[in-house]
A and B are shown apart, each in its own frame.
Chain A
Amino acid sequence: MLMVFLQQALNGIILGCIYALIALGLSLIFGILEVANFAHGEFYMLGAFMALFSMSGLGVSFFPALLIAMIGMGIIGAIIERAVFRPIVGKPLINSMLLSFGLSTALANLALLLFGADPQKIESGLADYHLRFFGLHLTAERLMVLVVGVALVTLLAWFIQSTRTGKAMRAVSQDRVAAQLAGINVSRIYTVTFAISGALAAAAGTMVGAMFFVSPEMGFSVTLKCFIIIALGGFGKIRGVIVAAVMIGLAESLGGGFISYAYKDAYPFLLLVLLFMLKPQGLTGGSGR
């Protein structure tokens, strides 16, 4: 029983890593641009397709494809920010919600038109290597997800904490006008934020495409889940979002394994309701990060 619990917990943490990558990008956009990007799941979907096509079209192996997808979605993210979101920054939240819903539908349907509805699999070549330790079971593919996920999140935390651009991003998220007065190029920060979010989503999409499948409709449910995560973790808070992402992963895995799998999509929402009842100020409290 203990082994089953530990195995389920391990599965949940790996799932949480994926959620963290997607939710962090979404949270950054929300914190810095103050827009809600409901098309974020589609970034993740497009990233996965980019990796899939680099592997089938260019013949590269998995890790270069992951890199290509991240760079590609970084560029597309920047373009989308410049073309679509820039004009509505500072407008009421409902503007960005409607706009991004439209963008989400458009991107998903465009993918459906261009790539077809048939799900496809990214072959990382790692799924057939099995690791066993202390009675736990892990494929090399899942270990890779864990390692890449943790590495990217650490990299992001370091970038935001220590680099000049990262500090500027924090400044903009605290007070846009003050940051502008201090000489920060706010427009550039917006573009960088979208590029980073796009790249993180693409990494998550590629890894999910290897573990599961790539298909045009894969993005939508993920967006919703990530909004729950950033609501749980606190908008714009990195550590809170990571904790919340792992919590949601664990809730799905343990709830699905020990309570009922058929209702596993309900557990994250239950968690959210519980949190709002018990700790309305959010997981990490009212202030600080």
Chain B
Amino acid sequence: MRGKGILRSVLCVAALLSLGCAAWAALPDGNVRVGVVMPTSGTLAYDGGLALNGVKMAVDEINAAGGVNGHKIELFVEDSAGVPATAVAAMEKLVGMQKVVAVIGDFGSSGTLAMMDVAKRSQTPLITPISLAPKITELGNVWTFRGCDSSEMIAKAFTKWAVQEKKLDKWAFIGVNTDYGRGSVDAFGKKVKDLGGEVVYTEYFQQGETDYYPIITKLKASPANTLCLLGETVDLSRVVNQFHEMGLQEKITVMDPTSGTFNPKFLELAKAKANGIIGASRFVASIKTPKAEKFVADYQKRYNIPPEKYAQAGYDVAHMVAIAVKNADSTDTAKVREALAKIEYEGPQGKAHFDAKNQLQIGEYIIAVKDGKFEIVAGPIMAE
């Protein structure tokens, strides 16, 4: 009799201990704290707001479905104003005072590059949903993740499709005379040549230029069958207008791989002349997969506008962080980082995982303008 009592009490203690152990390993009480650094003021405020829309919608979805193992996610949003120094201060505040498990941000590449050092020093995972500069994932900072494509991946997928699938082999480049324009022309030109195509014509223009007849006339006399544009909305609308005035649209396909023309202002300025311009994007609202259709419908209902790639990336990245915390079953930042690196994710954009450099591997869609809408021409195409 007495022996049984002892056994029972031993069992009780063991049970209590094991419970205690379980409680110690799992998520601590309280909310899971996640930081966000996005420009919510300044010139990038509108675009940053779109990414934030996506993040907030994802978090509300997760919390409504019971949170992460029963713990709600709590967001701490800081404004980077599109300024690297402000982004660093915001990141310091999030890791130092709010003790977040991970930080989502920034928008511009220079902001993200500046925040990466804080991520490494404070050992907090940083994941950017937007920044495109290839350098971010090339620096070997294991604490930094890119939850979207890089400009390098876009260029690879785009040229692969254009040169190999569409047999567009004679390329002309018209680019803005800046680091961005000249850098992109070099990068794209090299990829075209690697794939067996030719660069037959390259011209640069000054920002704000109005008369493009001299170079369009020259383009007309060149053997080009592809015109690749690298610039901003207003300048490119003039190029496209004058390109049509010279009647070149029958002979030459217009490409805009960095999406300077895929916005409402361009469509307003170029009207029907925008038709047929081809670009690349990791996401458009017309993707027909169940996950994408549900995301588009929910987003449209919540914000009254269709989602684009910024909102999609914010949404996906917030989900990835939640899954990483769930898989790690801990708020220890090192464990969350490990779990994030191993994640197998499927969202509205498609299936995704991180490579050894913490670069998300996703496909690109080739899109074209048709009557003021963006249609999917091909994809998803993987860069490799």
Shortest CB distance B218–A (Å): 5
A257 with B218: CB separation less than 8 A: yes
- Known pairs A119-B269, A121-B269, A213-B238; A256 contacts B215 (CB<8 A): yes
Which residues from chain A contact B213 at a C-beta distance below 8 Å? 8, 11, 15, 253
B247 with A130: CB separation less than 8 A: yes
Q: With an 8 A cutoff between CB atoms, is B214 at the interface?
A: yes
Contact size range, A: 20 to 34
- Known pairs A119-B269, A127-B245, A252-B214; A262 contacts B238 (CB<8 A): no
- Known pairs A11-B213, A261-B203, A265-B206; A119 contacts B234 (CB<8 A): yes
Shortest CB distance B203–A (Å): 5
Which residues from chain B contact A142 at a C-beta distance below 8 Å? 245
A23-55: contact bitstring with B at CB < 8 Å (1 yes, 0 no)? 000000000000000000000000000000000
Q: With an 8 A cutoff between CB atoms, is A7 at the interface?
A: yes
Q: With an 8 A cutoff between CB atoms, is A56 at the interface?
A: no
With both beta carbons as reference points, the residue of chain B lying nearest to A7 in the complex is identified as B217
Shortest CB distance A283–B (Å): 23
With both beta carbons as reference points, the residue of chain A lying nearest to B182 in the complex is identified as A262
B192-233: contact bitstring with A at CB < 8 Å (1 yes, 0 no)? 000000000001111010110111011011000000000000
Shortest CB distance A143–B (Å): 12
| Distance, CA A255 to CA B214, complexed state (A) | 8
Which residues from chain A contact B218 at a C-beta distance below 8 Å? 4, 8, 257-258
Select which of B214, B247, B265 is within 8 A of A264 by beta carbon: B214
Which residues from chain B contact A213 at a C-beta distance below 8 Å? 210, 234, 238, 269
With both beta carbons as reference points, the residue of chain A lying nearest to B174 in the complex is identified as A261
Q: With an 8 A cutoff between CB atoms, is A175 at the interface?
A: no
| Distance, CA A52 to CA B342, complexed state (A) | 58
Q: With an 8 A cutoff between CB atoms, is A139 at the interface?
A: yes
B214 with A11: CB separation less than 8 A: yes
| Distance, CA A262 to CA B208, complexed state (A) | 12
B203 with A262: CB separation less than 8 A: yes
- How many residues does chain B have at the interface if contact means C-beta atoms less than 8 Å apart? 23
B234 with A137: CB separation less than 8 A: no
A137 with B221: CB separation less than 8 A: no
Q: With an 8 A cutoff between CB atoms, is B177 at the interface?
A: yes
Which residues from chain A contact B234 at a C-beta distance below 8 Å? 119, 213
Q: Chain B: interface secondary structure?
A: helix
B343-374: contact bitstring with A at CB < 8 Å (1 yes, 0 no)? 00000000000000000000000000000000
| Distance, CA A254 to CA B48, complexed state (A) | 44
| Distance, CA A121 to CA B269, complexed state (A) | 7
Q: With an 8 A cutoff between CB atoms, is B139 at the interface?
A: no
A8 with B245: CB separation less than 8 A: no
Q: With an 8 A cutoff between CB atoms, is A3 at the interface?
A: yes
| Distance, CA A4 to CA B218, complexed state (A) | 7
Select which of B204, B210, B247 is within 8 A of A261 by beta carbon: B204
| Distance, CA A218 to CA B210, complexed state (A) | 9
Which residues from chain B contact A217 at a C-beta distance below 8 Å? 208
Q: With an 8 A cutoff between CB atoms, is B297 at the interface?
A: no
B204 with A11: CB separation less than 8 A: no
| Distance, CA A130 to CA B245, complexed state (A) | 8
| Distance, CA A258 to CA B203, complexed state (A) | 11
Which residues from chain A contact B208 at a C-beta distance below 8 Å? 217
Q: With an 8 A cutoff between CB atoms, is B246 at the interface?
A: yes
With both beta carbons as reference points, the residue of chain A lying nearest to B245 in the complex is identified as A139
Which residues from chain B contact A121 at a C-beta distance below 8 Å? 269
With both beta carbons as reference points, the residue of chain B lying nearest to A14 in the complex is identified as B213
Which residues from chain B contact A254 at a C-beta distance below 8 Å? 214
With both beta carbons as reference points, the residue of chain A lying nearest to B213 in the complex is identified as A11
A261 with B215: CB separation less than 8 A: yes
| Distance, CA A119 to CA B247, complexed state (A) | 24
Which residues from chain A contact B211 at a C-beta distance below 8 Å? 11, 15, 211-212, 252
Which residues from chain A contact B246 at a C-beta distance below 8 Å? 137
Nearest 5 interchain pairs by C-beta: A256-B214, A257-B214, A262-B204, A212-B210, A11-B213
Task: List 15 additional A-B contacts (Cβ < 8 Å) besides A217-B208, A218-B210.
Answer: A1-B221, A4-B218, A15-B213, A127-B241, A137-B247, A213-B210, A253-B214, A255-B214, A257-B217, A261-B203, A261-B205, A261-B215, A262-B177, A262-B205, A264-B206
What are 10 sample pairs from A and B whose C-beta atoms fall under 8 A apart? A4-B221, A8-B213, A15-B213, A137-B246, A141-B245, A211-B211, A256-B214, A256-B215, A264-B206, A264-B214
